[in-house]
Amino acid sequence: DGGITQSPKYLFRKEGQNVTLSCEQNLNHDAMYWYRQDPGQGLRLIYYSQIVNDFQKGDIAEGYSVSREKKESFPLTVTSAQKNPTAFYLCASSITWRARDSPLHFGNGTRLTVT
Partner 1 sequence: SQQGEEDPQALSIQEGENATMNCSYKTSINNLQWYRQNSGRGLVHLILIRSNEREKHSGRLRVTLDTSKKSSSLLITASRAADTASYFCATESPGYSTLTFGKGTMLLVSP
CA atoms within 13 Å, Cβ hemisphere of 12: 1
Strands 10-13 and 110-114, how do they pair?
A: parallel
Nearest approach, Cβ of 85 to partner 1 (angstroms)?
18
Interior angle at CA 84, CA 34 and CA 82, nearest 5: 70
Q: Which is nearer to partner 1, 12 or 18 (CB)?
A: 12
Our CB check for partner 1 shows the closer of 46 and 78 to be: 46
Smallest distance, partner 1 to C-beta of residue 71, A: 17
Q: Which residues bind partner 1 (CB under 8 A)?
A: 4, 6, 31, 33, 35, 40-45, 48, 50, 58-59, 90, 92, 97-98, 100-101, 103-109, 111
- For residues 48 and 56, the answer to whether their CB atoms sit within 8 Å is yes
- Smallest gap from Cβ 15 to partner 1, in A, equals 24
